[in-house]
């Protein structure tokens, strides 16, 4: 989470999407994939105790990570860098509390 927050801060200071910004976008993608993968691991203990509602609420709260990772992957693979600022705007609220 901290890595994505820092990358978002640095990318927001850029005036153009250069090679460094593209590398940072790739780093963000891999971090978002890791966040998404960790969701099931995080709720495993709750499910073992039959806390299904709590587990599903947690999954629902964090579903954005997988969705935005998929969106970012498309931006990177299709070279649609003009979509990156809008995607960053969607990510910022999820990382705004991280200093």
Average pLDDT over residues 38-54: 92
Average pLDDT over residues 14-32: 97
- pTM greater than the 0.75 cutoff: yes
Paired tokens of 72: 């970012």
Paired tokens of 18: 């250069």
Going by C-beta distance under 8 Å and a sequence separation of 6 or more, which residues neighbour residue 81?
17, 22, 75
Paired tokens of 86: 């809008």
Instruction: State the chain's mean pLDDT as an integer.
Output: 95
Going by C-beta distance under 8 Å and a sequence separation of 6 or more, which residues neighbour residue 94?
64, 65
Confidence of residue 75 (pLDDT cuts 50, 70, 90): very high
Confidence of residue 99 (pLDDT cuts 50, 70, 90): confident
């Amino acid at each position: 989470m901290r890595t994505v927050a820092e990358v978002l801060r640095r990318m927001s200071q850029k005036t153009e999407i250069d090679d460094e910004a593209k590398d940072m976008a790739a780093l963000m993608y891999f971090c978002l994939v890791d966040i998404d993968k960790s969701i099931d691991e995080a709720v495993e203990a709750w499910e073992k105790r039959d806390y299904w509602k709590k587990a599903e609420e947690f999954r629902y709260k964090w579903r954005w990570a997988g969705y935005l990772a998929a969106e970012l992957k498309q931006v990177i693979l299709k070279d649609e860098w003009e979509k990156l600022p809008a995607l960053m705007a969607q990510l910022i609220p999820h990382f705004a509390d991280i200093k």
